[in-house]
Amino acid sequence: MHKKLAATLTIAIFLLSTLAIIAPAQAHFTLGKYQGTYPYEVQDFDPHVPGVIGYVWPGGGENTYLGFPSYVTNVVSPGYVPPYPSQFLNTAKGWTQNLMQLDGHEYAPFGAIVTGTTGDLIFAVNSTTAMDFTNIYIAIPPEFTVPDTSQVVTTITNNYALILKYKASMFDRFVPGWTIIRIIADTQHDIQFYPQGWYYVRVNGVTAPSIAGKYFFKISFSGGATGEYWVPTQNWPVLLVKGELDPAIITGTIRFGGYNASLYGQPLEEAGMVWAKMTTKTDPYTGSTIGTCPDHTSPT
């Protein structure tokens, strides 16, 4: 009897350990390289680099490549603007909001969507140099719910049989589990880039992630005279998903606080999660206290 019980427990433990292996944790890496001086992050989308550039509306604005990511007029919105724009001194004249966003309550007021909402994503691509392709691949993070190809419209082809959608393998090196929208250009009508030439892809009825964060979309090309080409990391479209219209923002550096003198005060260079506890609710517009919060922690 005891041997059977031990065997049963052994099998149960094995099955549980197998399930733990089957369901690994998932996460996104953050674009860019952090530094200790303004704008605190470089080699990200602000500014862009030469080559093919991708945009998403709502999202990164067209003027990013020109060094004016936050430029706005009464007809042009800037798209996503980072908390610390790299060219803030040069663009202040065109910014009608609070440019130093962390000093106010206007974090990406234009280029953002709210968690769990459903709407349309409009992708656009152009290039700073002449290039020629026959296929475009747009990789959408797995947190987004993407409908079938009947909801995709584009200026690349009029033949909707040339619009495909599929899921990348979880073992893919570049887009594990991401949704891929592939569009093949019409025969004898390649995707040809030249200065100020544009192509558009609209995906209707996309549902935003339930997790707030800064998301990016990867774009690549193949075929044609240029062949295989990945849009540079700095030129990926960026889209901010907010938990509410005026979310809280926590910024800073997490440093080692243990007893190891050689590590004390040094920035932590490991991935992880920060938990914040809010005790008082305030009105973001007036700063006045409007109540207290339950005694629990919330992820940021």
The residue-averaged pLDDT of 167-184 equals 94
Half-sphere exposure of 93 (CA within 13 A, CB side): 1
Q: How would you list the strands of the sheet with 229-230, edge to edge?
A: 163-167, 179-184, 135-140, 218-222, 229-230
CB 79 within 8 Å of CB 111:
yes
Buried b (16+ CB within 10 A) or exposed e, 207-246: ebbeebbbbbbbbbbbbbebeebbbbebbbbbbbbbbeee
The domain spans of the chain are 34-242, 263-300
Tell me the CATH number of domain 34-242, given options 1.10.4080.10, 3.20.20.80, 1.10.3720.10, 2.60.40.2230.
2.60.40.2230
Distance CA 300, CA 274 (A): 6
The 10s digit of each residue's pLDDT in 117-173 is 999 999 989 898 899 999 999 999 999 999 999 999 999 998 999 999 999 999 998
Task: Work out the mean pLDDT of the chain and round it to a whole number.
Answer: 76
Question: Would you say residue 231 has pLDDT above 90?
Answer: yes
Residue with tokens 């990348």: 168
The residue-averaged pLDDT of 45-72 equals 70
CB-neighbour burial class of residue 36 (10 A; exposed 0-12, middle 13-18, buried 19+):
exposed
The residue-averaged pLDDT of 200-204 equals 95
Ranges 1-10, 62-71, 173-182, 262-271, most confident: 173-182
CA trace torsion 170, 176, 179, 181 (10° rounding): -120
Distance CA 280, CA 263 (A): 34
The residue-averaged pLDDT of 59-65 equals 59
Note the pTM of the prediction, 2 decimals: 0.73
**Closest of 245, 237, 274 to residue 117, by C-alpha:** 245
In this structure, what DSSP letter does residue 254 have?
Answer: -
